[in-house]
Chain A
């Protein structure tokens, strides 16, 4: 991994002024620290993706199939016929530039090809050349005429540029909020990556989770016994904190609810504390109200890296959710904290793998609330569920146990801009914490900034890219840190929790990161628990330990 300069130096190097030459005259230079490792062949083989081989983006020869241009041309055409979105987005952009400085990667890098408009132009230029009448006619007058029209042939350099920049987009949709026509770069990137997958151009940080998830049910490739071991470990940890031994259900038939959450939270801090939070919450609900919520190791992944490869792969991975709910005979599905998972669940799942007519319309059996907004998909977000419980006074909470934290909330891209889950997590946080501060308005809710590592870019070898992408978000956190002393960045996304610790360490080491349900569990009073002197992280609770000494 390339050494990063210190943050001050990093900032001083950002130059938002592009070269005076047009973008088509600025050749692509694939850089270490930005690009990700190529997918290893066994990942592709496992799911039957084309052209598995050992290769690297720094090789001269990418070992493409001989007719790669033909494959891409055909693939492009087929997809234009399938997606009105991209077809329209190819035609109507006026290059007003409103999107330009909305992208976290452009803000953090200054690389002008990270302006969303240029990312789309990478595709559009080939579209104009191959699929428009004007492009074909102007082509007769030579390359210059074509270029004036913004058209160019799909050459190897163009392909490399595609690859480089479609893996510098986290599909966060922030630009689409500002676009006067709603042009959504996520659609462009999804389309572009789907094309690249046709000739075996994936990155390992996407392809490996896809293959793992297909086989073991989760991105990390955790096999069922290891999954159970991790949960046992959490059970011990929870017991240490509050003296209660929780008993999570696994694949329990006829349980009330199936719970699915990203596997990242089972595996790495600080997500693990959120996972413990879920376990404590479910224990509380079972003890107090007899509600049975089951986990599954088969459907042990909420996230869906298939979404970052192709629509088909997304569907193949997502199918497990309904399949497992059906097999177990639960009433409905509860989904944990995750960003892109909720985009897939909210905007794609029912269409792809529904109708879920074997499930019941979700009702909270404790409060009687009907989740009308989930009556077809039959999957409820845990923040919706918990907000409902709190509103009806069904949780016993002691928010003072979070008094050592000054909390801010990061809206994850997809729940914000692909769903609209804004108030629910805030309501939950405000009920379990006494100190909550919002970041500046232009950086939250629908204008929220990405963590910088979404859409499969959370690898190690592209650390410079990730720090670029995280800059706008963490700069806003820094603002509330300096103004209000915020020391905890909460979020509802497992990728955030995988990305932020590294990014915070670099940009803002004084602030820590947590999931909302870690905060919930800190405050949640379990029936018969011992007096808590530490939080879930085993860190002493100020004030509470002192009383013991007296």
Chain B
């Protein structure tokens, strides 16, 4: 039995019950609807900033990009200015492709030992595809939710929502992003369970956010398509949060508070977890640095002098042998006196 995901699943179920039941108790709506969300948002913002500052406090002593293409060297050899960037522009493109299209993951291959002695590396697109699907749809869903926090709703939000529902199935019409989001999450979960190596490396903290976001998507879908939550009431409430004049709208239902609670937990959990890859990727020295190493000197702020073995020390030890084979020396042999041979080690 895999305790890592059981722990996480239980945790998410407990959170569900907490909010579901809690919201029905007296004062529960205020607690789960107003206090927790504001608190979570504060933790998220402060925690995120704190983590970024903490990272930024440590310097980058050496310029260590991972080069994934031809360097810029001789004028007639075409450099790969994106995967081995020598300009800030190149780095920006590299980072853009990395952040927006997961370029490194796109390269992913799957190794197999075939016919007993042939190693093969096939292009493995599924992890890339589903990760991209997950992140993009999550972003679209998030963006669509702006309609709950703005009045009037910006045109772009409306357009995205319209595009998202272009299939025009059902009523309210089916939003593709929500379904793809849930599907991608389930794929990401299943690969952790079914691929033995993935199961081996997965921690509870890998399953927890998956379950949590599955919970968010699930409760969202539930409200939109099944329990048909009172949208007008929800909007009234969310606008009150957005305008910092919070007040509870009656009759929204417990599932909504579960949804909101899950989001709050995700926000508060974010800065203390691996989800910080959102900020970290921008600061990863192997990706965000320019490979101009040999033409522009990089400064290490903590560079300090070290003890070295000087040429003089070297020659003092080997002078006789050097002269013996005709290697040039600085001090001729005759000049060597016993005192010099015992000369204290120089330090630089």
Q: Choose one: B69, B110, B131, B293; the contact of A347 (CB below 8 Å).
A: B293
Contact A351 B61, beta carbon cutoff 8 Å: yes
Residue of A nearest to B59 (CB): A84
Beta-carbon contact of B284 and A183 below 8 Å: yes
Name B67's closest neighbour in chain A (CB-CB): A420
Residue numbers in A under 8 Å from B226 (CB-CB): none
The answer to the question of A112 belonging to the interface, with a C-beta cut-off of 8 Å to chain B, is yes
User: Interface size class for chain B?
Assistant: 35 or more
B63-100 residues at the A interface, CB under 8 angstroms: 63-64, 66-80, 83-84, 98
Which candidate, B212-220, B233-241, B323-331, is the interface stretch facing chain A? B323-331
Stretch at the interface among A89-97, A158-166, A191-199, A488-496: A89-97
A453 within 8 A of B: no
B274 is contacted by which of A92, A97, A443, A445 (Cβ under 8 Å)? A92
Which of B136-144, B154-162, B301-309, B336-344 lies at the interface?
B301-309
Nearest chain B residue, comparing its CB with the CB of A356: B297
B36 at the interface (CB under 8 A from A): no
A96 touches B4 (CB 8 A): no
Stretch at the interface among B116-124, B164-172, B173-181, B253-261: B116-124
> Is A319 within 8 A of B306, CB to CB?
yes
Given the complex, which residues of A lie within 8 Å of B4, measured CB to CB? 22, 148
Question: B110–A101 contact, CB under 8 A?
Answer: yes
A: contact size bracket: 35 or more
Give the A-B contact count at a CB cut-off of 8 A.
321
Interface: B113 (CB within 8 A): yes
Contacting residue for A134 out of B71, B272, B283, B287, CB 8 A: B272
Q: Indicate if the CB atoms of B277 and A97 lie closer than 8 Å.
A: no
Residues A347 and B62 in contact, CB atoms below 8 Å apart:
yes
Determine the chain A residues whose CB is within 8 A of the CB of B107 once the complex forms.
Answer: 177-178, 447
Partner-contacting stretch, out of B12-20, B21-29, B196-204:
B196-204
Closest B residue to A421 by CB, please name it.
B71
B205-230 toward A: CB 8 Å interface, digit per residue (1/0)? Answer: 11000000000000000000000000
**Is A126 an interface residue when CB atoms closer than 8 A count as contact?**
no
Q: Measured between alpha carbons, how far is A179 from B61 in the docked complex, in Å?
A: 22
Is B104 engaged at the interface, CB distance under 8 Å to the other chain? yes
Of A14, A92, A315, A377, the contact of B293 (CB 8 Å cutoff):
A377
Given contacts A95-B201, A148-B204, contact A418 B58 (CB under 8 A): no
Expressed in whole angstroms, the minimum distance between the Cβ of B286 and any Cβ of chain A is 4
> Does A279 reach chain B (CB closer than 8 Å)?
no
Residue-wise interface mask of A (281-310) relative to B, using a CB-CB cutoff of 8 A (1 in contact, 0 not): 000000000000000011000000000000
Expressed in whole angstroms, the minimum distance between the Cβ of B27 and any Cβ of chain A is: 27
CB-contact partner of A88 in B63, B284, B317, B321, under 8 A: B284
Encode A65-106 as 1/0 by CB contact (under 8 A) with B. 000000000000000111111011101111111101110000
Closest Cβ–Cβ distance, residue B277 to chain A (whole Å): 4
Interchain CB contact under 8 A, B327 and A225: yes
| A349-384 at interface with B (beta carbon < 8 Å) | 350-352, 354-355, 369, 371-377, 379, 384
Q: Is the CB of A150 within 8 A of B203?
A: yes
Which residues on B sit within 8 Å (CB–CB) of A102? 109, 111
Q: A18 in the interface, Cβ–Cβ < 8 Å?
A: yes
Contact A351 B119, beta carbon cutoff 8 Å: no
Q: How far is the CB of B174 from chain A (nearest CB, A)?
A: 29
Nearest-neighbour CB distance to chain A for B299, whole angstroms, equals 7
Query: How many Å from the CB of A130 to the closest CB on chain B?
Result: 15
Q: When the two chains form their complex, are residues B276 and A354 in contact, meaning their CB atoms are under 8 A apart?
A: no
A82 pairs with B59, CB closer than 8 A: yes
Within A368-407, which residues are at the interface with B (CB < 8 Å)?
Answer: 369, 371-377, 379, 384, 387-388, 391
Q: Is the CB of B58 within 8 A of A316?
A: no
Binary B-proximity of A2-45 (CB < 8 A = 1, otherwise 0)? 00000110011010111110110000000000000000000000
9-residue interface stretch from A113-121, A258-266, A456-464, A509-517: A113-121
Q: Which residues of chain B are near A419, meaning CB under 8 Å?
A: 67, 71, 291, 293
Residue in B111, B198, B321 whose beta carbon sits within 8 Å of that of A97 in the complex: B198
Residues A81 and B57 in contact in the complex (CB < 8 Å), given A347-B64, A417-B66 = yes
A241 at the interface (CB under 8 A from B): no
Q: State whether A180 and B102 are in contact (beta carbons under 8 Å apart), knowing that A224-B318, A351-B297, A418-B67 are contacts in the complex.
A: yes
Cross-chain contact B322 with A224 (CB below 8 angstroms): yes
**A420 — which chain B residues lie within 8 A by C-beta?**
67, 69-72, 79-80, 84, 291
Q: Say yes or no: A180-B205 contact (C-beta < 8 A), given A215-B309, A298-B314.
A: no
Contact between A115 and B201 (Cβ–Cβ < 8 Å)? yes
Most buried by A among B200, B272, B325: B200
Minimal Cβ-Cβ distance residue in B for A354: B297
> Are B205 and A100 interface neighbours, CB within 8 A?
no
CA distance A187 to B200 in the complex (A): 23
> How far is it, in angstroms, between the C-alpha of A97 and the C-alpha of B307 when the chains are bound?
42
> Which residues of A are found within 8 Å of B285, using beta-carbon distances?
84-85, 88, 182
B64 and A187 within 8 A (CB): yes
A155 within 8 A of B: no
Q: Which residues of A contact B244 (CB under 8 A)?
A: none
Docked pose: A420 CA to B77 CA in angstroms: 12
Check B248 for interface membership: any CB of A closer than 8 A: no
Contact present for B111 and A416 (CB under 8 Å): no
Contact B70 A422 (CB under 8 A): yes
Q: Which of A80, A96, A134, A371 has the most CB of B within 10 A?
A: A96
Known interface pairs A92-B280, A223-B318, A346-B294; A352-B300 also in contact (CB < 8 Å): yes
Q: Is there contact, CB below 8 Å, between B61 and A112?
A: no
Contacts of A354 in B (CB 8 A): 297
Whether A204 is near chain B, meaning CB under 8 Å from some CB there, is: no
Q: Are B204 and A350 in contact (CB under 8 A)?
A: no
Cβ of A291 to closest chain B Cβ, rounded Å: 18
B208 to chain A, nearest CB (A): 9
Does chain B have a CB within 8 A of A55?
no
Cα A355 to Cα B199 in complex, Å, equals 49
In the complex, are the beta carbons of B7 and A373 less than 8 A apart? no
A-B contact pairs, 23 of them (CB 8 A): A23-B200, A84-B55, A85-B64, A87-B55, A101-B111, A134-B273, A177-B104, A183-B284, A214-B309, A224-B318, A224-B322, A224-B325, A350-B297, A351-B61, A351-B62, A351-B297, A375-B295, A377-B294, A387-B77, A391-B74, A391-B76, A416-B67, A440-B121
> In the complex, given contacts A420-B71, A446-B69, what are 4 additional A-B residue pairs having Cβ atoms less than 8 angstroms apart?
A82-B302, A115-B201, A182-B104, A224-B325
